[in-house]
Structure 1
Amino acid sequence: MRTAVCYYSRHHGNTRKVLEAMAREGEIDLIDATVRQTVRLEDYDCVGFASGVYFGKFHTSVLHAARQYLPHGKPVFFVCTYGGGMGQSTRELKELAGERGCAVLGTFGCKGYDTFGPFKLVGGLAKGRPDEGDLDRARSFFRDILTRL
């Protein structure tokens, strides 16, 4: 099964670490949402969107990629890392998936080391995350998606 994930991962690379762990379970093409390129998601069996959570939302580059490239009827899933909490960060993506008739296969989220803004002053939040337990859960999440498709 061919899977593409449009993602944004900077600061500490938390989201990329999670996606690389998932990629050990099956073929995943990682597409950096900040790189200007033509993306043909209709060529994939399944599509994911992944980002750190910034002020309760996915990064704008990932939201833009989803609005621009998500084909109708394509199964989707979401992956996020966060310092504080996941909250309603996938709400916009779930609404878009619904509008396009895409089945949402699930969401994986875990803590990620966060030194953004004032958190830097106290040494950051969620030090050492994502850890091996998080990465094991990410692999399990992706294996479950593969068995359901």
Structure 2
Amino acid sequence: MKIAIVYASVHHGNTKKLVDAIADAYGTELIDATKIKEKNLSEYDAIGFASGIYYGKFHQAVLNFASVNLPQEKTVFLICTHGGSAAFGSIEAILKNKRCSITDRFSCKGYDTFGPFRLIGGIAKGHPDDKDIKSVLDFYDGIIKKMQV
């Protein structure tokens, strides 16, 4: 089974902590959408999209990558880190357009110092933490098991 995760992690490395843990444990290929703009994804059995939440949306680099590179009717899973709340709508709109099936979604808090949060030293300090890492690995294990059925 061939799986890749397309991600963007630009401020505090919150999302990168999660996808690195998955890559280390499972050997999953990571694609940094802030550096790689085009890639043929047709050979993958499943594709994950992972991002911090920026103004209530996935990072624009991930959205652009999905719009340009994601083939029709792929199996997809989603991961996000956030200071406030999870927001999958921006990426889900692209996936719906491409008739992709979303197997599952994962979200956890991530350290956030945007805007007024900077004045108080940020929110969700220390996240993602070890518990979040374990949770994302359990989530990913569940994705793999679903695909093997």
Q: Give the structure-2-normalised TM-score.
A: 0.93
Q: Which runs of at least 4 in structure 1 moved beyond 3 Å after TM superposition?
A: none
Distance in 2, matches of 1:24 and 1:102, equals 27
In the other structure, the counterpart of 1:125 is 123
Whole-angstrom CA distance in 1 between matches of 2:54 and 2:37: 24
Could you tell me how far apart the structure 2 residues matched to 1:42 and 1:73 are? 10
Question: For 1:36 and 1:10, how far apart are their aligned partners in 2?
Answer: 14
For structure 1, the residue ranges without an aligned partner over 5 or more in a row are none
State the distance in 2 between where 1:28 and 1:143 align: 12
- Other-structure match for 1:91: 89
Q: Which amino acid aligns with 2:14?
A: N
Aligned: 1:3 with 2:28: no
Matched position secondary structure for 1:81? strand
Q: CA offset at residue 4 of structure 1?
A: 1.1
In angstroms, what is the RMSD of aligned CA positions? 1.2
Deviations 1:67-112, CA, capped at 9 Å, x for gaps: 11111111001110001111xx211322322222211011110000
Residue pairs, 1:1-149, within 5 angstroms: 1-86=1-86, 89-149=87-147
Q: How many residues align?
A: 147
Contact 2:38 2:68 in 1 (8 A): no
For residue 41 of structure 1, give the secondary structure of its aligned residue in structure 2: coil
Ranges in structure 2 where 5+ consecutive residues have no aligned partner: none
Deviation at 1:37, TM superposition (A): 4.2
Give me the TM-score of the superposition, normalised by structure 1: 0.93
Conserved 8 A contact 2:38-2:65: no
